[in-house]
Amino acid sequence: MSDQIAGLPELRGDCARCFGLCCVALPFARSADFALDKPAGKPCPNLGGDHRCGVHAELRPRGFTGCTVYDCFGAGQKVSQVTFGGQDWRSGPPEHARRMFDAFPVVRQLHELLWYLTEALGLPAAGPVHPGLRRALEQTERLTRLRPEELAALDVAAHRQEVNTLLLRTSELVRADARARTKGKGKDRRGADLIGARLRGADLRGASLRGACLIAADLTGADLRAADMIGADLRDADLTDADLTGAFFLTQPQVDAARGGAVTRLPASVTRPAHWTPAT
C-alpha cells in the first residue's frame, strides 16, 4: 500500500509545475490559520510573478499555518499543464482565469479520491472490492481530464458518494481483518466528537475514526494501527510516540496539522512534517 502511493508523484502537489492556483483560486479568512482575508480569485499578496510563495520558509511564524497543511493532491499541476495546456492564468482574458479557478477545486476533489482509491487497491484485505475500486479509479481519472466547461458541470458530490460506498466497504474488510488479529478491538467512532479527548495510550487498533473530530486530542502513545483515518480532524492533536503503522486513508494534510515526536510511527505513504521533532 505505502509503496503504491509513494510511487505516484502525480498525486502529490508539484508547485514547480503549477501556476500558484491554491494561492489565487481559494479564499482565505483571517484566523489562527491565515493572517489575512483574501477572496477567491484574488492572488495572495505573498505570491510572486514566478507563481512561488515569497514567504514560504516563514509561513508558520507569519501566521499562515493553513498554507503549510494544504495539499492539492497534484490537482494544481494537472489543471495547469493538462486541463489548460500550460497556459498561465495571467496570460489570457479574465474569463480564462475564471475558468481555471473554477476547475481547480473540482479536480482537487477528484485527485483526493484517486489517492484513497489507489491506497485501497494496495490493501490485501480489500481484495473482494478490488474490481470495483479499479473501475472507480479509471472513471475518476477520466473525469480529471474533462474540458473546463465539463468540469464546471460535473456533479462531484454524486461521484464522491459512489466512491465512498466502495471506501466504506474497504474499511469494513480491513478493520474486520484487524479485529480478528486483535481479539475484537476496533470500535466504530465515525464522526465522534473527541475534541481535547484524553486518549493517551489508547488501544485504537482497527478503529473507525472516519470524520472524527480529534482537535487537540491527546493521542500520546496511542496505538492506531489499521485504523481508518479518512476525514479525521487531527489539528493540534498530539501524536507523540503514537503508532500509526498501517493506519489507512491518512493524508499528508492531516499529519501536517498534528503534532508529533521523534518516535511517532507513520505509514510510508506520508512524510514526517518538518515542524515535528525529527526522528533520530
pLDDT in tens, 174-214: 999 887 776 656 688 999 999 999 999 999 999 999 999 99
Residue among 196, 195, 185, 170 nearest 249 (CA): 170
| Integer CA distances (angstroms), 211 to 151, 185, 192, in order | 26, 19, 7
Residue among 120, 141, 68 nearest 230 (CA): 120
Q: State the pTM of this model.
A: 0.91
pLDDT tens-digit map of 51-97: 999 999 999 999 999 999 999 999 999 999 999 999 999 988 889 99
pLDDT tens-digit map of 87-133: 999 988 889 999 999 999 999 999 999 999 999 999 999 999 999 99
Cell match 467512532: residue?
189
Cell match 500500500: residue?
1
